[in-house]
A and B are shown apart, each in its own frame.
Chain A
Amino acid sequence: EPEVTQTPSHQVTQMGQEVILRCVPISNHLYFYWYRQILGQKVEFLVSFYNNEISEKSEIFDDQFSVERPDGSNFTLKIRSTKLEDSAMYFCASILPPFDTQYFGPGTRLTVL
């Protein structure tokens, strides 16, 4: 069964460094999403992406964040200058309209030191 994959599973970085989190959505899906979950808290929406542009973003998704679909398969989240509070689990998801079910990847645990 097709699934969303994410790499790496765990990323450790120093405060102020740039990180890129990678996702491979399900191949025929059209909408792509990033969410984050700070330890012990609820899952929060960051951004959605459709037709090579951002379609929706939350207040969390500020200028430090960017997304890109550099080729036909990868979908990336870049954090330009990481802060301690960026430490969280980051999930990628994708859907194929008209079906509204979002399929999530296993997540990348980002630890900022």
Chain B
Amino acid sequence: SQQGEEDPQALSIQEGENATMNCSYKTSINNLQWYRQNSGRGLVHLILIRSNEREKHSGRLRVTLDTSKKSSSLLITASRAADTASYFCATPSGGGADGLTFGKGTHLIIQP
């Protein structure tokens, strides 16, 4: 089964608008992490939310987790051109130190 499938696959918005990306997964999780990847670059960790948490904030980022629906969302408020990147959710296969299973990502484009 696929873990961490994001939607939409691509999202284009105007600078200043909010961007929302969703992630669904199939099995029980210990935590769910969101990463950003600029084109051809490495993965930058954004935020981790644990299975017993429902919402978490970090700066302009807001992540929610609904374990009953096996889904998470990442909201970026007041988007900037520098937010243009691909965003991935990832979940460990078992315990917190296990290898991560990534989704295919959402490619976000912020139009200036």
Contact = CB atoms under 8 A, between A and B. Distances in A.
A68 interface: no
A56 B97 CA distance: 10
A98 interface: yes
Interface hub of A31, A41, A42, A95 (most chain B Cβ within 10 A): A42
Contacts of B41: 106-107
Contacts of B44: 104
A27 to B, nearest CB: 18
Interface hub of A43, A58, A98, A109 (most chain B Cβ within 10 A): A43
A100 B90 CA distance: 12
Interface residues of B, number: 25
Interface string B73-108: 000000000000000101011001111111111000
A31 B44 CA distance: 18
Dominant secondary structure at the A interface: strand
Size class of the contact patch on chain A: 20 to 34
Contacts of B88: 42-43
A100 B31 contact: yes
Interface of A: 31, 33, 35, 41-48, 50, 55-56, 58, 89, 91, 93, 95, 97-98, 100-107, 109
16 contacts: A35-B99, A42-B102, A42-B103, A43-B43, A44-B102, A45-B93, A47-B99, A48-B97, A58-B99, A98-B96, A100-B31, A100-B96, A101-B48, A104-B35, A105-B42, A107-B42
